[in-house]
Structure 1
Protein backbone atom coordinates (compact mmCIF):
# COMPACT_ATOMS: atom_id res chain seq x y z
CA UNK A 1 0.00 0.00 0.00
CA UNK A 2 2.95 2.37 0.51
CA UNK A 3 3.44 3.03 -3.25
CA UNK A 4 -0.08 4.52 -3.40
CA UNK A 5 0.49 6.99 -0.57
CA UNK A 6 2.09 9.74 -2.66
CA UNK A 7 -0.41 9.55 -5.56
CA UNK A 8 -3.29 9.55 -3.08
CA UNK A 9 -1.94 12.65 -1.38
CA UNK A 10 -1.47 14.26 -4.78
CA UNK A 11 -5.05 13.39 -5.69
CA UNK A 12 -6.38 14.93 -2.49
CA UNK A 13 -4.17 17.97 -3.00
CA UNK A 14 -5.61 18.32 -6.49
CA UNK A 15 -9.11 18.25 -5.01
CA UNK A 16 -8.21 20.98 -2.53
CA UNK A 17 -6.58 23.06 -5.25
CA UNK A 18 -9.61 22.73 -7.56
CA UNK A 19 -12.09 23.55 -4.79
CA UNK A 20 -10.13 26.60 -3.73
CA UNK A 21 -9.76 28.07 -7.21
CA UNK A 22 -12.31 30.85 -7.81
CA UNK A 23 -14.20 30.99 -11.09
CA UNK A 24 -12.98 33.61 -13.51
CA UNK A 25 -15.64 35.35 -15.57
CA UNK A 26 -14.56 36.65 -18.97
CA UNK A 27 -16.03 39.68 -20.71
CA UNK A 28 -17.51 39.80 -24.21
CA UNK A 29 -18.81 42.17 -26.89
CA UNK A 30 -21.43 42.10 -29.63
CA UNK A 31 -22.26 44.32 -32.61
CA UNK A 32 -25.72 45.45 -33.63
CA UNK A 33 -27.27 45.69 -37.08
CA UNK A 34 -26.52 49.41 -37.25
CA UNK A 35 -22.92 49.11 -36.09
CA UNK A 36 -23.51 49.57 -32.36
CA UNK A 37 -21.07 47.88 -30.01
CA UNK A 38 -22.21 46.46 -26.66
CA UNK A 39 -19.57 45.26 -24.18
CA UNK A 40 -20.08 43.44 -20.88
CA UNK A 41 -17.34 43.13 -18.24
CA UNK A 42 -18.21 39.48 -17.47
CA UNK A 43 -20.12 37.07 -19.71
CA UNK A 44 -18.71 33.55 -19.30
CA UNK A 45 -18.53 31.74 -15.95
CA UNK A 46 -20.53 34.29 -13.95
CA UNK A 47 -21.46 33.31 -10.38
CA UNK A 48 -25.09 32.05 -10.31
CA UNK A 49 -25.66 33.78 -6.98
CA UNK A 50 -25.23 37.19 -8.54
CA UNK A 51 -22.75 39.66 -9.95
CA UNK A 52 -22.53 43.34 -10.79
CA UNK A 53 -21.50 43.93 -14.39
CA UNK A 54 -20.21 47.02 -16.12
CA UNK A 55 -21.96 47.50 -19.46
CA UNK A 56 -20.71 49.93 -22.08
CA UNK A 57 -22.00 50.84 -25.50
CA UNK A 58 -20.94 52.94 -28.46
CA UNK A 59 -22.41 53.89 -31.83
CA UNK A 60 -26.04 54.03 -30.70
CA UNK A 61 -28.58 56.35 -32.33
CA UNK A 62 -28.88 59.18 -29.80
CA UNK A 63 -32.37 60.02 -31.10
CA UNK A 64 -33.64 56.72 -29.70
CA UNK A 65 -33.77 55.90 -26.01
CA UNK A 66 -32.89 52.37 -24.88
CA UNK A 67 -33.11 50.06 -21.91
CA UNK A 68 -29.97 48.21 -20.84
CA UNK A 69 -31.03 45.05 -19.00
CA UNK A 70 -30.51 41.36 -18.30
CA UNK A 71 -33.19 39.42 -20.18
CA UNK A 72 -34.32 36.11 -21.58
CA UNK A 73 -33.38 35.88 -25.26
CA UNK A 74 -36.35 35.14 -27.52
CA UNK A 75 -34.40 35.03 -30.78
CA UNK A 76 -33.76 37.38 -33.71
CA UNK A 77 -36.46 39.93 -34.46
CA UNK A 78 -38.14 39.46 -31.08
CA UNK A 79 -37.61 41.76 -28.10
CA UNK A 80 -35.59 40.18 -25.28
CA UNK A 81 -38.11 39.63 -22.48
CA UNK A 82 -38.82 39.25 -19.61
CA UNK A 83 -35.97 41.27 -18.12
CA UNK A 84 -34.60 41.05 -14.61
CA UNK A 85 -35.02 44.74 -13.90
CA UNK A 86 -38.21 45.24 -15.89
CA UNK A 87 -38.79 48.59 -17.57
CA UNK A 88 -37.05 50.52 -14.82
CA UNK A 89 -37.56 54.16 -15.77
CA UNK A 90 -36.40 55.31 -12.31
CA UNK A 91 -33.01 53.60 -12.45
CA UNK A 92 -33.32 52.72 -8.76
CA UNK A 93 -33.59 48.93 -9.05
CA UNK A 94 -30.10 48.27 -10.37
CA UNK A 95 -31.30 45.50 -12.69
CA UNK A 96 -31.75 47.75 -15.72
CA UNK A 97 -31.03 51.30 -16.87
CA UNK A 98 -32.80 53.80 -19.09
CA UNK A 99 -30.49 55.65 -21.49
CA UNK A 100 -31.95 58.56 -23.44
CA UNK A 101 -30.88 62.03 -24.51
CA UNK A 102 -34.44 63.12 -25.32
CA UNK A 103 -36.81 61.42 -22.86
CA UNK A 104 -40.40 62.56 -22.29
CA UNK A 105 -40.77 65.34 -19.69
CA UNK A 106 -41.30 62.85 -16.85
CA UNK A 107 -38.02 61.12 -17.76
CA UNK A 108 -35.79 64.15 -17.35
CA UNK A 109 -33.47 63.51 -14.45
CA UNK A 110 -34.27 59.78 -14.57
CA UNK A 111 -32.80 58.68 -17.90
CA UNK A 112 -29.03 58.71 -18.37
CA UNK A 113 -28.09 60.76 -21.45
CA UNK A 114 -25.82 59.34 -24.13
CA UNK A 115 -22.17 60.34 -24.18
CA UNK A 116 -20.09 61.22 -27.26
CA UNK A 117 -20.61 58.99 -30.33
CA UNK A 118 -23.77 57.43 -28.90
CA UNK A 119 -21.93 55.94 -25.93
CA UNK A 120 -22.99 54.97 -22.42
CA UNK A 121 -21.58 53.23 -19.34
CA UNK A 122 -23.81 51.70 -16.65
CA UNK A 123 -23.72 48.89 -14.09
CA UNK A 124 -26.41 46.24 -13.66
CA UNK A 125 -26.93 43.43 -11.16
CA UNK A 126 -27.67 39.95 -12.51
CA UNK A 127 -28.18 36.42 -11.18
CA UNK A 128 -28.99 33.03 -12.69
CA UNK A 129 -32.58 33.15 -11.41
CA UNK A 130 -33.65 36.79 -11.23
CA UNK A 131 -37.36 35.92 -11.23
CA UNK A 132 -39.77 33.02 -11.38
CA UNK A 133 -40.10 33.56 -15.13
CA UNK A 134 -36.34 33.36 -15.77
CA UNK A 135 -34.06 30.43 -14.99
CA UNK A 136 -30.88 31.19 -16.89
CA UNK A 137 -29.38 27.80 -16.05
CA UNK A 138 -32.00 26.34 -18.43
CA UNK A 139 -32.69 29.04 -21.02
CA UNK A 140 -30.51 31.47 -22.95
CA UNK A 141 -30.17 34.82 -21.19
CA UNK A 142 -28.44 37.95 -22.40
CA UNK A 143 -27.38 41.41 -21.40
CA UNK A 144 -29.27 43.40 -23.99
CA UNK A 145 -30.15 46.81 -25.26
CA UNK A 146 -33.58 47.46 -26.74
CA UNK A 147 -35.58 50.54 -27.67
CA UNK A 148 -37.36 52.09 -24.70
CA UNK A 149 -41.12 52.29 -24.16
CA UNK A 150 -41.44 55.29 -26.49
CA UNK A 151 -40.44 53.06 -29.45
CA UNK A 152 -41.38 49.60 -28.19
CA UNK A 153 -41.71 48.06 -31.68
CA UNK A 154 -38.35 49.40 -32.92
CA UNK A 155 -35.86 46.53 -33.15
CA UNK A 156 -32.93 48.58 -34.53
CA UNK A 157 -31.43 49.07 -31.07
CA UNK A 158 -31.48 45.37 -30.16
CA UNK A 159 -27.99 44.10 -29.31
CA UNK A 160 -27.36 40.98 -27.19
CA UNK A 161 -24.37 39.55 -25.31
CA UNK A 162 -25.07 35.96 -24.11
CA UNK A 163 -24.32 35.24 -20.45
CA UNK A 164 -23.29 31.82 -19.10
CA UNK A 165 -23.14 30.89 -15.43
CA UNK A 166 -20.67 28.65 -13.60
CA UNK A 167 -22.61 25.70 -12.20
CA UNK A 168 -19.84 24.77 -9.74
CA UNK A 169 -19.84 21.14 -10.88
CA UNK A 170 -17.25 18.81 -9.32
CA UNK A 171 -15.73 16.08 -11.54
CA UNK A 172 -16.77 12.54 -10.53
CA UNK A 173 -13.16 11.48 -10.00
CA UNK A 174 -12.74 14.15 -7.34
CA UNK A 175 -16.08 13.45 -5.67
CA UNK A 176 -14.85 9.89 -5.15
CA UNK A 177 -12.42 11.25 -2.56
CA UNK A 178 -9.40 11.31 -4.83
CA UNK A 179 -9.19 7.51 -5.14
CA UNK A 180 -9.73 7.56 -8.90
CA UNK A 181 -7.19 10.36 -9.25
CA UNK A 182 -4.71 8.37 -7.19
CA UNK A 183 -5.21 5.30 -9.37
CA UNK A 184 -4.52 7.27 -12.54
CA UNK A 185 -1.45 8.91 -11.04
CA UNK A 186 -0.18 5.56 -9.75
CA UNK A 187 -0.32 4.25 -13.29
CA UNK A 188 1.75 7.18 -14.50
CA UNK A 189 -1.19 9.01 -16.06
CA UNK A 190 -2.06 12.68 -16.07
CA UNK A 191 -5.34 14.06 -14.72
CA UNK A 192 -6.83 17.16 -16.31
CA UNK A 193 -9.56 18.92 -14.33
CA UNK A 194 -12.02 21.32 -15.96
CA UNK A 195 -14.70 23.32 -14.18
CA UNK A 196 -18.15 22.52 -15.50
CA UNK A 197 -20.21 25.49 -16.62
CA UNK A 198 -23.86 25.87 -17.47
CA UNK A 199 -24.21 27.74 -20.73
CA UNK A 200 -27.70 29.04 -20.17
CA UNK A 201 -28.32 28.48 -23.87
CA UNK A 202 -31.32 26.20 -23.92
CA UNK A 203 -34.34 26.75 -26.13
CA UNK A 204 -35.90 30.18 -25.77
Structure 2
Protein backbone atom coordinates (compact mmCIF):
# COMPACT_ATOMS: atom_id res chain seq x y z
CA UNK A 1 0.00 0.00 0.00
CA UNK A 2 1.32 3.46 -0.89
CA UNK A 3 1.87 6.02 1.86
CA UNK A 4 0.66 9.62 1.90
CA UNK A 5 2.14 12.34 4.13
CA UNK A 6 -0.42 14.69 5.68
CA UNK A 7 -0.09 17.46 8.26
CA UNK A 8 -2.96 18.77 10.31
CA UNK A 9 -3.71 21.03 13.25
CA UNK A 10 -5.58 19.91 16.35
CA UNK A 11 -8.79 21.81 17.10
CA UNK A 12 -10.75 22.30 20.28
CA UNK A 13 -13.69 24.32 18.90
CA UNK A 14 -16.21 21.73 17.69
CA UNK A 15 -19.41 23.72 17.09
CA UNK A 16 -21.06 24.83 13.84
CA UNK A 17 -19.68 28.34 14.12
CA UNK A 18 -16.09 27.14 14.44
CA UNK A 19 -16.54 24.63 11.61
CA UNK A 20 -17.84 27.35 9.26
CA UNK A 21 -14.86 29.53 10.17
CA UNK A 22 -12.43 26.70 9.32
CA UNK A 23 -14.10 26.09 5.96
CA UNK A 24 -13.84 29.80 5.07
CA UNK A 25 -10.06 29.48 5.60
CA UNK A 26 -9.93 26.53 3.11
CA UNK A 27 -9.51 24.05 5.96
CA UNK A 28 -11.45 20.80 6.20
CA UNK A 29 -12.61 19.56 9.61
CA UNK A 30 -11.53 15.96 10.19
CA UNK A 31 -11.51 13.31 12.89
CA UNK A 32 -9.44 10.21 13.56
CA UNK A 33 -11.15 7.27 15.29
CA UNK A 34 -9.93 4.03 16.78
CA UNK A 35 -7.03 4.95 19.02
CA UNK A 36 -5.91 2.86 22.00
CA UNK A 37 -9.23 3.74 23.61
CA UNK A 38 -11.96 2.85 21.09
CA UNK A 39 -14.18 5.75 22.20
CA UNK A 40 -11.36 8.24 21.64
CA UNK A 41 -11.72 10.65 18.72
CA UNK A 42 -9.14 13.29 17.81
CA UNK A 43 -10.52 16.36 16.02
CA UNK A 44 -8.27 18.32 13.67
CA UNK A 45 -8.22 20.30 10.43
CA UNK A 46 -6.30 19.86 7.18
CA UNK A 47 -5.89 22.19 4.21
CA UNK A 48 -7.88 21.42 1.04
CA UNK A 49 -4.76 21.67 -1.12
CA UNK A 50 -2.99 19.02 1.02
CA UNK A 51 -5.65 16.32 0.58
CA UNK A 52 -6.48 16.68 -3.12
CA UNK A 53 -4.23 13.81 -4.24
CA UNK A 54 -5.56 11.61 -1.43
CA UNK A 55 -9.24 12.12 -2.25
CA UNK A 56 -9.44 12.38 -6.03
CA UNK A 57 -7.90 8.99 -6.82
CA UNK A 58 -9.15 5.41 -6.95
CA UNK A 59 -6.02 4.22 -5.13
CA UNK A 60 -5.85 3.44 -1.42
CA UNK A 61 -3.21 4.98 0.82
CA UNK A 62 -1.77 4.52 4.28
CA UNK A 63 -1.77 8.07 5.65
CA UNK A 64 1.18 9.18 7.79
CA UNK A 65 -0.69 11.82 9.75
CA UNK A 66 1.21 14.45 11.73
CA UNK A 67 -0.91 16.45 14.18
CA UNK A 68 1.02 19.18 15.99
CA UNK A 69 4.12 17.00 16.18
CA UNK A 70 2.43 13.71 17.10
CA UNK A 71 2.43 10.95 14.44
CA UNK A 72 -0.43 8.56 13.57
CA UNK A 73 -0.88 5.90 10.91
CA UNK A 74 -4.39 5.97 9.44
CA UNK A 75 -6.55 5.19 6.43
CA UNK A 76 -9.21 7.45 4.92
CA UNK A 77 -12.56 5.92 5.88
CA UNK A 78 -15.23 8.42 4.80
CA UNK A 79 -15.66 11.71 2.95
CA UNK A 80 -18.66 14.00 3.41
CA UNK A 81 -19.39 16.15 0.36
CA UNK A 82 -21.81 19.07 -0.07
CA UNK A 83 -24.76 17.84 -2.20
CA UNK A 84 -24.84 20.88 -4.48
CA UNK A 85 -21.34 22.35 -4.66
CA UNK A 86 -19.35 19.08 -4.21
CA UNK A 87 -17.18 20.88 -1.65
CA UNK A 88 -15.53 18.57 0.87
CA UNK A 89 -17.23 19.09 4.24
CA UNK A 90 -15.59 16.52 6.52
CA UNK A 91 -13.06 13.66 6.53
CA UNK A 92 -13.04 10.57 8.74
CA UNK A 93 -9.82 8.64 9.31
CA UNK A 94 -9.29 5.29 11.04
CA UNK A 95 -6.22 4.87 13.25
CA UNK A 96 -4.48 1.61 12.28
CA UNK A 97 -2.15 -0.65 14.23
CA UNK A 98 0.16 -3.44 13.04
CA UNK A 99 -1.62 -6.14 15.09
CA UNK A 100 -5.28 -5.20 14.41
CA UNK A 101 -7.06 -6.03 11.14
CA UNK A 102 -8.84 -3.32 9.17
CA UNK A 103 -11.79 -3.43 6.76
CA UNK A 104 -11.23 -1.57 3.50
CA UNK A 105 -12.46 -1.53 -0.11
CA UNK A 106 -9.72 -2.53 -2.59
CA UNK A 107 -10.01 -1.88 -6.37
CA UNK A 108 -10.32 -4.90 -8.71
CA UNK A 109 -8.13 -5.28 -11.82
CA UNK A 110 -8.89 -7.89 -14.50
CA UNK A 111 -5.83 -9.51 -16.10
CA UNK A 112 -5.79 -11.24 -19.49
CA UNK A 113 -8.15 -11.59 -22.44
CA UNK A 114 -11.13 -13.84 -21.73
CA UNK A 115 -11.93 -16.76 -24.08
CA UNK A 116 -15.52 -15.54 -24.21
CA UNK A 117 -14.43 -12.12 -25.47
CA UNK A 118 -12.40 -13.80 -28.25
CA UNK A 119 -15.59 -15.67 -29.17
CA UNK A 120 -17.54 -12.38 -29.55
CA UNK A 121 -18.81 -11.78 -26.01
CA UNK A 122 -18.69 -8.58 -24.01
CA UNK A 123 -16.79 -8.37 -20.72
CA UNK A 124 -18.46 -6.46 -17.90
CA UNK A 125 -16.96 -5.60 -14.52
CA UNK A 126 -19.87 -5.65 -12.05
CA UNK A 127 -17.92 -5.07 -8.82
CA UNK A 128 -15.20 -2.44 -9.05
CA UNK A 129 -14.06 -2.81 -5.42
CA UNK A 130 -14.07 -5.72 -3.00
CA UNK A 131 -14.34 -5.28 0.76
CA UNK A 132 -11.47 -7.07 2.53
CA UNK A 133 -10.43 -7.62 6.13
CA UNK A 134 -6.70 -7.91 6.85
CA UNK A 135 -3.76 -6.34 8.61
CA UNK A 136 -2.92 -3.06 6.89
CA UNK A 137 0.55 -4.38 6.03
CA UNK A 138 -1.04 -7.17 3.93
CA UNK A 139 -3.59 -5.06 2.03
CA UNK A 140 -2.57 -4.81 -1.66
CA UNK A 141 -3.04 -1.70 -3.77
CA UNK A 142 -5.23 -3.67 -6.19
CA UNK A 143 -6.75 -7.16 -6.39
CA UNK A 144 -5.67 -8.84 -9.65
CA UNK A 145 -8.05 -11.45 -11.10
CA UNK A 146 -6.98 -13.61 -14.06
CA UNK A 147 -9.90 -13.99 -16.50
CA UNK A 148 -8.22 -15.78 -19.44
CA UNK A 149 -10.26 -18.96 -18.77
CA UNK A 150 -13.61 -17.13 -18.63
CA UNK A 151 -15.90 -18.57 -21.33
CA UNK A 152 -18.90 -17.04 -23.07
CA UNK A 153 -21.87 -16.66 -20.70
CA UNK A 154 -19.76 -17.41 -17.60
CA UNK A 155 -18.98 -15.23 -14.56
CA UNK A 156 -16.55 -14.95 -11.65
CA UNK A 157 -18.16 -14.81 -8.20
CA UNK A 158 -16.60 -13.66 -4.93
CA UNK A 159 -16.79 -17.20 -3.49
CA UNK A 160 -14.41 -18.45 -6.23
CA UNK A 161 -11.68 -15.96 -5.28
CA UNK A 162 -8.92 -16.50 -2.75
CA UNK A 163 -6.12 -14.10 -1.78
CA UNK A 164 -3.36 -14.82 0.76
CA UNK A 165 -3.85 -13.04 4.08
CA UNK A 166 -7.16 -11.45 3.03
CA UNK A 167 -10.70 -12.28 4.10
CA UNK A 168 -13.29 -11.23 1.49
CA UNK A 169 -16.40 -9.75 3.12
CA UNK A 170 -18.64 -9.41 0.05
CA UNK A 171 -21.47 -11.92 -0.46
CA UNK A 172 -20.11 -15.22 -1.83
CA UNK A 173 -22.59 -15.22 -4.73
CA UNK A 174 -21.89 -11.59 -5.75
CA UNK A 175 -20.67 -11.41 -9.37
CA UNK A 176 -17.32 -9.68 -9.87
CA UNK A 177 -17.20 -9.90 -13.67
CA UNK A 178 -18.91 -11.77 -16.51
CA UNK A 179 -18.72 -12.35 -20.24
CA UNK A 180 -22.13 -11.59 -21.74
CA UNK A 181 -23.48 -12.96 -24.97
CA UNK A 182 -23.87 -10.19 -27.58
CA UNK A 183 -26.34 -10.10 -30.47
CA UNK A 184 -23.54 -10.76 -32.93
CA UNK A 185 -22.40 -13.81 -30.96
CA UNK A 186 -26.01 -15.10 -30.79
CA UNK A 187 -26.33 -14.68 -34.56
CA UNK A 188 -23.11 -16.65 -35.15
CA UNK A 189 -24.32 -19.37 -32.79
CA UNK A 190 -27.69 -19.56 -34.61
CA UNK A 191 -25.99 -19.84 -38.04
CA UNK A 192 -23.72 -22.57 -36.74
CA UNK A 193 -26.69 -24.82 -35.81
Shorter-chain TM-score above 0.5: no
TM-score using structure 2 length:
0.25
TM-score using structure 1 length:
0.24
Instruction: Compare the two structures and name the one with the higher strand fraction.
Output: 2
* Relative contact order, higher structure (CA 8 A, sep 6+): 1
